[in-house]
Amino acid sequence: MKTILFICITVTLLASCEKDYQHDTGLADGYHDCSMMDYLRSDHNNWDSIVVAIEHAGLTEIFEGINPDYKEITFFGPTNMSIRKFFLEQPEKIYQSIREIPVELVRNMILAYLVKGKKMKESFDYEIKGTLMGGTEMYSLNNVKLRVYRTQSEFNGIPDIGAEGLKIHAKISGQMASIASSDIETNNGVVHSLSNRFTWVEL
């Protein structure tokens, strides 16, 4: 009986450990059967500020999927915390609210985080480790050159089997940001939520 019990426990442990070393921290929220704009409006904890910015910039049609030039989009989205940090870190505290920022500036600050088409995390190549090369290069809707790349960390000293991440790199400005939650899919696009540690900037 003890032998049978031992075999059962061993098989269970082996089955559960087979992929236990892979930790994909970038998947959350899944699919939302609505437009991207409706999704952003529904999540007040994360997206209230960017909704105000989108409306202020006159970009609602793009996020609703009704702009004929941009039926599908991918958004590297700065959260409420990122936008709050933008106001706190202004050197001269020029702006107190999103609606005080010039429309054209807000428009550019949003378009820089948008690319055409639905791009899931698996669409992007891996970075070449130890370099600022590799990944997938593309242009944002306002023509900012972005390098979007996947990374994979080590786990228990074994390289390339740990948590997989997604990051963006604006090639000209040098700004870089990590994705906290990727592959949030809507009817007309994909949202990759930027880390709360990131400060919203003009790329």
Confidence (pLDDT) at 13: 42
At the topology level, CATH places domain 22-194 in: FAS1 domain (2.30.180)
Using the predicted structure, report yes or no on whether residue 96 has a pLDDT greater than 60: yes
Task: Count, in order, helices (H) and strands (E) of the chain.
Answer: 6, 9
Please give the model's pTM, rounded to 2 decimal places. Answer: 0.81
Confidence (pLDDT) at 161: 54
Using the predicted structure, report yes or no on whether residue 164 has a pLDDT greater than 90: no
Confidence (pLDDT) at 15: 41
Q: How far lies 202's CA from each of 26, 83, 107, 127, 141, in Å?
A: 24, 12, 10, 23, 13
Asked whether 77 and 47 are in contact (CB, 8 A), the reply is yes
- Whole-number average pLDDT of the chain: 86
* All structural domains of the chain with their residue ranges: 22-194
Overall size of the chain counted in residues: 203
* Closest C-alpha among 34, 37, 77 to residue 60: 37
* Closest C-alpha among 192, 169, 198 to residue 89: 198
Tens digit of pLDDT for each residue in 123-136?
Answer: 999 998 878 899 99
Using the predicted structure, report yes or no on whether residue 1 has a pLDDT greater than 70: no
Confidence (pLDDT) at 163: 65
Instruction: Indicate the range of 10-14, 141-145, 195-199 predicted with least confidence.
Output: 10-14
**103-111 and 44-57 helices cross at what angle (nearest 10)?**
120
Q: Identify the DSSP state of 70.
A: -
Using the predicted structure, report yes or no on whether residue 7 has a pLDDT greater than 60: no
